[in-house]
Amino acid sequence: MTTAHDLTIVSLEARTEYPVERGDLSLALAGAELADLLEAGAVSLDGSVLRPVERPGSGDPMLDAAASEVGKEPDESVEDWLWRRGWGLAAEYLAAEGVEDTRRKRPRWMGRRDADRPAPADPETRRRATDRWASGDPVLAGLAAAVGIHHESADRVEDPEDDGIAAVLAAVNDAVVELAAIRQRRSIEDAAFDNIWRGL
């Protein structure tokens, strides 16, 4: 399994104070894919620009699909790729884990805990992901932190040794912050619009 699959399971299993936003998770999942592609040598970084490298398939359909996306846009930066690849990605990974998309029924399901949370279908996949999480894997912990899931030993989790992967984690954090600002701006604009209508 891949880092993105592991992150999906952590998002379902780990206790969080606030619900994990679907858009934040999508960006982090795109970052998880990119981290795995860098580690496998399927992608390289030319400064902040992604460059495809010819490599055999990984055997994971989602990761291979991500690899095929690299290089489709000329001189695409890591952050631009996160936004493009991340569009709707959380729903795809949740579906791959056998989790129903319940946004319309219960918009805040990701903030629920214990028995109310959906669980991944494959126990072996879940065990692998939770073991990796418990070990304090720096890539998984860094991506999870970007979406508001903090490892209980966060102060002892080391930074990734690979500069490219560290750059991906930084780009994910920046993108999540930018998305939060967009949400806040839209909320303010919606509130102002509602006030205009109330005043008529």
pLDDT, one tens digit per residue, over 10-68 is 999 887 877 889 999 999 999 999 999 999 999 999 998 999 997 777 789 999 999 99
- pLDDT confidence of residue 122: 74
- Return the amino acid letter for 56: P
Tokens 């791959």 -> residue: 96
- Whether the pLDDT of residue 109 is over 50: the answer is no
Contact 78/173 with Cβ under 8 angstroms? no
- pLDDT confidence of residue 185: 80
- pLDDT confidence of residue 119: 55
- pLDDT confidence of residue 153: 73
H helix runs in 77-162, sequence order: 78-86, 89-96, 123-134, 138-146
Q: Band the pLDDT of 161: cuts 50, 70, 90.
A: confident
The model carries a pTM of 0.83
H helix runs in the chain, sequence order: 3-13, 22-40, 61-69, 78-86, 89-96, 123-134, 138-146, 163-199
Backbone angles phi, psi at 49, to 5 degrees: -95, 135
- Whether the pLDDT of residue 190 is over 80: the answer is no
DSSP letter for 158, please: P
C-alpha 152/C-alpha 184 separation (Å) is: 29
Contact 128/1 with Cβ under 8 angstroms? yes
- pLDDT confidence of residue 155: 65
DSSP letters, 85-108, are HHTTHHHHHHHHTT----TTT-TT
